[in-house]
């Protein structure tokens, strides 16, 4: 399969991702968001969770807050 075929087959999904402001590289932070949900469910404070995730994923705390907001937003279908 060449790149054209791959994109053509997935065009509807790619269009939906684009319309929702989702970059293909956002997949890298799925684990971060899942860890965030787990820690919040366990009763951890948001400030502590953000600090831990910042250290674990080696990104600044502001980026963690931005990612949490991004992944929590409702997608339009």
Chain segment 3-62, per-residue pLDDT in tens: 999 999 999 999 999 999 999 999 999 999 999 999 999 999 999 999 999 999 999 999
The answer, yes or no, to whether residue 77 has pLDDT greater than 90, is: no
Torsion from C-alpha of 44, 47, 49, 54, nearest 10 degrees: -170
Residues contacting residue 36 through CB under 8 Å, at least 6 positions apart: 49, 53, 64, 68
Q: pLDDT value at position 19? A: 96
Confidence of residue 65 (pLDDT cuts 50, 70, 90): very high
CA within 13 Å, CB half, 28: 8
**Per-residue pLDDT, 18:** 97
């Amino acid at each position: 399969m060449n790149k054209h075929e791959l994109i053509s087959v997935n065009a509807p999904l790619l269009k939906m991702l684009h319309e929702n402001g989702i970059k293909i590289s956002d997949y890298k932070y799925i684990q971060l968001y899942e860890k965030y949900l787990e820690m919040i469910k366990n009763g951890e404070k948001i400030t502590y969770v953000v600090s831990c995730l910042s250290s674990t994923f080696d990104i600044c705390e502001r980026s963690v807050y931005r990612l949490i907001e991004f992944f929590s937003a409702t997608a339009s279908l």
